[in-house]
Copies of this chain bind each other. A is one copy, B any other.
């Protein structure tokens, strides 16, 4: 079993050694450590992976002493064990490319998660979910009033013990309350290279502007639409020959790849939010 400890705190000398010593004293064998200093905020970030075989299986003492260390260094921390698989809900509308892609990667073992739930505002993708043995819930959304269905969605997420919501081309805007409840636990895919072409119909905007590359951006959802911390982006080359339908087709490939990489990084506890930005450890 592997453990992953992610900490952040104001930078000061000796942090790397102090944390290494702390984990080793608790029986951990550190395999990887990666650090980052954010020059703007003066914050230090570290992600450590360690073998837990010789550690006390009861993590009570570890947690208590981590808490003490954290107070001493004004540290924020998260501890994950490799056995704790995140349970993911995928929200979709009618497009199936990201849905298939995520499910197939999970089946191949590329994504460290379970996918027990698909939620949609349309019935179209019920058959896909069921083919893969995943519960499908169709919750139609009254136009312009997503908040109306959120209590029902929230209850569903709670009862299914969902730890991550992936908006896989879910063409709806969540309310600020919903976003706050799942802060840093909702990942969206936007079909443009943000901040270019935020808002609606980005492929039409790209066509109109005559760009030579189109892109996709995966980010945590925040209360400001299309403004959340970016986790992953990529682009693909297009030419004057491509019409809208071709951009949409080329875009599908980059959308699903970018979303899968962002979800994978999140599930491996490699993403840390730092203000408007993310640190994505390798």
| Per-position binary interface string of chain A over residues 110-135, scored 1 when its CB falls under 8 Å from any chain B CB and 0 otherwise | 10000000000000000000010000
Chain A: interface residue total (CB-CB under 8 A): 64
- Chain B CB within 8 A of A274 CB: yes
| 17 A-B residue pairings within 8 Å (CB atoms) | A14-B29, A15-B30, A20-B21, A39-B243, A193-B193, A194-B209, A209-B277, A210-B229, A210-B277, A210-B278, A212-B233, A213-B215, A235-B235, A240-B274, A240-B278, A240-B279, A240-B280
Distance (Å) between the CB of A42 and the closest chain B CB? 14
Q: A104-B97, A104-B100 are in contact. Are A233 and B211 (CB under 8 A)?
A: yes
The answer to the question of A223 belonging to the interface, with a C-beta cut-off of 8 Å to chain B, is no
Does A31 interact with chain B (Cβ within 8 Å)? yes
Copy tally for this chain in the complex stands at 4
Neighbour of A196 across the interface among B14, B33, B100, B196, CB < 8 A? B196
The answer to whether A170 has its CB under 8 Å from any CB of chain B is no
| Residues of chain B contacted by A257 (CB below 8 angstroms) | 253
Most chain B beta-carbon neighbours within 10 Å: one of A15, A16, A31, A274: A16
User: Apart from A36-B240, A195-B211, A240-B277, what are 20 other A-B pairs with CB-CB below 8 Å?
Assistant: A16-B20, A17-B21, A17-B24, A17-B30, A20-B21, A30-B35, A31-B37, A36-B241, A100-B100, A100-B104, A108-B252, A131-B131, A193-B196, A196-B196, A209-B230, A210-B275, A210-B276, A211-B230, A212-B233, A213-B234
